[in-house]
Amino acid sequence: MSSLLSVRDLRVTFPITRAGDMPWTAPRQLRAVNGIDFDLEAGKTLGVVGESGCGKSTLARGLIQMVPASGQVVWRGETDLLSLSRRQMKRYRSEIQMVFQDPLASLNPRMTLGQIIAEPLKTHRSDLSSEERRRRVAAMMERVGLLPQMINRYPHEFSGGQCQRIGIARALVMEPKLLICDEPVSALDVSIQAQVVDLLKDLQRDLGLAMIFIAHDLSVVKHISEEVMVLYLGRVMEKAPKSALFADPQHPYTQALMSAVPIPDPVAERAKKVIALDGDLPSPMAPPSGCVFRTRCPRAQSECAQTVPQPGTDAHRTACLFPGPTKQSELGHEM
């Protein structure tokens, strides 16, 4: 099956200048996303996980030119989105939509719910009459669980979960092929998170959507994704089908992330071993040489400082010179 989205060597770099730099001083380069490859088929979900600062949100924005990016982002096997001008890109906006992390901040406080959901239709479907727009908005409200009498209310009158439903309705009213969800449940209560994730799964099934789902929580990613990609400092550490990744993680970073996921069984939670990573995430302004994870890796060796490991092209890809199951020496304390 041909890919809906095919990404090759995606890079996002920001030039950084400091106070006191001379005009002739070349700006430093912050490599937020550093050579990422993946393919996404129609109707499938790719989960993207990693710590804060690993480049997850920048990756999402780079795909749709919200930030300058290089590489190739081929849409439906035909068009490289990164080669398009802003004007040319407009025609693809209706096919690729985004749901943001902060549900309230992503909504215009001066617009009613109905106006917010109808806005993409006014922008991209000027051929529709006001009555046709009204019917589409009403149908989408019903689909995401918003009551008809809410249509004239403003964002501040809704809860966080309701605001996220509004954001989802706004994104889906154009009937896109790809929905990019940038940590859509991280600002919500746990019970509301489950409702929103279930809503997204139902909508994906009904509409045939492909999704890129970005999250910190591996348990949420496991629930919604067919494939998972683990990022660290702008690079892919491991990428595999969900079943393979959770059954047999090969990269020590993936293993550390999984060991931190709470288990809903008090006895098992107290007995489990946690892989404790040393130090904090390095600055992307000055990443470690060789493997970017080596400064915190429990199995780092001298070769790791010299060689940049590549994830390869297999179904289960691991960017590690010494992949394998968790070793006893890597385990830290019990919970």
User: In whole angstroms, what is the distance from residue 209 CA to residue 45 CA?
Assistant: 9
Looking at residue 231, its pLDDT comes to 96
Provide the 10 A C-beta neighbour count for residue 78. Answer: 7
Contact 187, 160 (CB under 8 A): yes
User: In whole angstroms, what is the distance from residue 294 CA to residue 301 CA?
Assistant: 8
Whole-Å CA distances, 134 to 93, 106, 115, 127: 21, 22, 10, 13
User: In whole angstroms, what is the distance from residue 18 CA to residue 28 CA?
Assistant: 9
Q: Tell me the domains of the chain and their CATH numbers.
A: 5-16+28-95+176-330 (3.40.50.300), 112-174 (no CATH)
Can you give the pLDDT of all 335 residues of the chain as single tens digits? 578 999 999 999 998 887 777 777 778 888 999 999 999 999 999 999 999 889 999 999 999 999 999 999 999 999 999 999 988 998 898 999 999 988 888 899 999 999 999 999 998 888 999 999 999 999 999 999 999 999 999 999 999 999 999 999 999 999 999 999 999 988 788 888 889 999 999 999 999 999 999 998 888 899 899 999 999 999 999 999 999 999 999 999 999 999 888 777 777 777 777 887 888 889 888 899 999 999 999 889 999 999 999 988 889 999 999 998 877 566 655 54
Contact 253, 334 (CB under 8 A): no
Looking at residue 39, its pLDDT comes to 96
Looking at residue 335, its pLDDT comes to 45
pTM, two decimal places: 0.91
